[in-house]
């Protein structure tokens, strides 16, 4: 069971001091804790008995004894003689077995057995002489130094603080749980990893294709050189055998050269544009930034064109331009036709 927590905001005189947070032992004394919690929130409105709000807000510390306890909770008479529970009449003691054995315990104040109302006190030391007489129903979990500061305020002969110590605000704290991540939400990093693997694979495939193309072109060039050399030797034999066949040999030589060039020419490399390319995150960011800059430039051009179209209107209206709220500027039609 989660124990509820409530808070008091105090002020000493006109100066606010730090907040005090109480944890209530609802699993031990649920009725006493519900009374204190509801008076902190003020959720029950105005009392039908006393015609005052059932709330600790605006109540005061009416009793303070150094090295013993600080007492409050009288929101009807503010002097220790009043107070009222949310149940109307005083209610019984739920559990008197809890020992008052340390400082910072939140305890119900009473006038005897079964007289619990709304008054409470916080211990400043162990109080074993009160065991079995008062119900312990909470403890201070934050702001105990504020309780010590309140206990140091000077008091009169009846232990009443000389400066008013008031509960300026009070209420209940809510326990906020961290929302669990739904199981059906995909991991946002997964697409990035898959994209990087696919891009790496495509780079590897492109390197293999490029290497295969280079090897094919190199082998074709070597075959072309061999064929070219063979055609040259044949043409030389024809020239040495007969002078009449010079023209024929030159024609055959040119034909053989053309053929060898066609056989030895390396095939055109595969254009990289034909290879499917998947856009990386960096390229995507660059493209978006480029498109945004183009859009801004187009918007500026449209604004400039709209300004230029207003110039003939200004000239036709007698040279008076209205700018801002109520401001007028005279423009001479003879000198302002060329532009602003």
10 catalytic? Reply is no
Quick check: 167 and 8 in contact, CB under 8 A? yes
Catalytic-role residue among 3, 19, 68, 149: 68
Q: How many CA atoms lie within 13 A of 52 on its CB side?
A: 17
- List the one residue out of 107, 112, 115, 109 whose CA is nearest residue 90: 115
Query: How far apart (Å, rounded) are the C-alpha atoms in residues 103 and 116?
Result: 21
Query: How far apart (Å, rounded) are the C-alpha atoms in residues 249 and 246?
Result: 5
188 catalytic? Reply is no
236 catalytic? Reply is no
Catalytic-role residue among 8, 63, 98, 124: 63
Catalytic-role residue among 3, 91, 110, 173: 110
Catalytic-role residue among 130, 131, 173, 227: 130
| Structure-token pair, residue 171 | 């209420």
Q: Can you tell me whether residue 197 is helix, strand or coil?
A: helix
Quick check: 91 and 114 in contact, CB under 8 A? yes
Q: Can you tell me whether residue 58 is helix, strand or coil?
A: coil
Catalytic-role residue among 22, 62, 71, 124: 71
- List the one residue out of 103, 98, 83 whose CA is nearest residue 135: 98
Write b or e for each residue in 4-21: b if 16 or more Cβ atoms lie within 10 A of its Cβ, otherwise e.
bbbbbbbebeeeebeebb
98 catalytic? Reply is no
Helices 190-241 and 246-264, packing angle to 10 deg: 170
308 burial class (0-12, 13-18, 19+ CB within 10 angstroms)?
A: exposed
281 catalytic? Reply is no
Catalytic-role residue among 106, 134, 137, 139: 134
36 catalytic? Reply is no
68 catalytic? Reply is yes
| Structure-token pair, residue 202 | 């495509």
| Structure-token pair, residue 219 | 């082998």
| Structure-token pair, residue 259 | 């053929």
DSSP strand E in 94-216: where? 105-108, 120-123, 136-142, 165-173
| Structure-token pair, residue 256 | 């053989």
Catalytic-role residue among 121, 124, 137, 139: 121
* Active site residue ranges: 63, 68, 71, 110, 121, 130, 134
């Amino acid at each position: 069971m989660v124990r509820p927590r409530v808070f008091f905001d105090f002020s000493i005189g006109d100066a606010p001091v730090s907040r005090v947070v109480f944890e209530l032992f609802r699993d031990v004394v649920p009725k006493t804790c519900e009374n204190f919690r509801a008076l902190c929130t003020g959720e029950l409105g105005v009392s039908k008995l006393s015609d005052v709000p059932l709330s600790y807000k605006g109540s005061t510390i009416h009793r303070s004894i150094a090295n013993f306890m600080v007492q409050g909770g009288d929101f009807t008479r503010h002097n220790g003689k009043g107070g009222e529970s949310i149940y109307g009449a005083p209610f019984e003691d739920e559990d008197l077995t809890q020992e008052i054995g340390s400082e910072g315990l939140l305890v119900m104040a009473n006038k005897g057995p079964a007289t619990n109302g709304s008054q409470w006190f916080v211990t400043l030391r162990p109080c074993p002489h009160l065991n079995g007489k008062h119900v312990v129903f909470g403890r201070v979990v934050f702001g105990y130094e504020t309780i010590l500061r309140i206990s140091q305020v000077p008091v009169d002969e009846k232990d009443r603080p000389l400066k008013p110590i008031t509960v300026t605000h009070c209420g209940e704290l809510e326990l906020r749980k961290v929302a669990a991540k739904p199981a059906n939400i995909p991991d946002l990093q997964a697409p990035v990893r898959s994209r990087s693997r696919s891009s790496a694979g495509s780079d590897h495939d492109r390197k293999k294709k490029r290497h295969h193309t280079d090897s094919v072109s190199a082998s074709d060039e070597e075959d072309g050189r061999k064929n070219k050399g063979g055609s040259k030797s044949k043409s030389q034999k024809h020239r040495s055998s007969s002078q009449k066949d010079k023209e024929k040999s030159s024609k055959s030589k040119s034909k053989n050269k053309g053929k060898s060039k066609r056989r030895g020419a390396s095939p055109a490399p595969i254009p990289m544009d034909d290879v499917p390319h998947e856009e990386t995150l960096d390229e995507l960011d660059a493209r978006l930034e480029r498109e945004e800059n183009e859009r801004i430039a187009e918007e500026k051009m449209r604004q400039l064109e709209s300004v230029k179209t207003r110039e003939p209107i200004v000239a036709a209206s007698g040279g008076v331009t209205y700018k801002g709220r109520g401001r007028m500027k005279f423009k001479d039609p003879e000198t302002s036709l060329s532009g602003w």
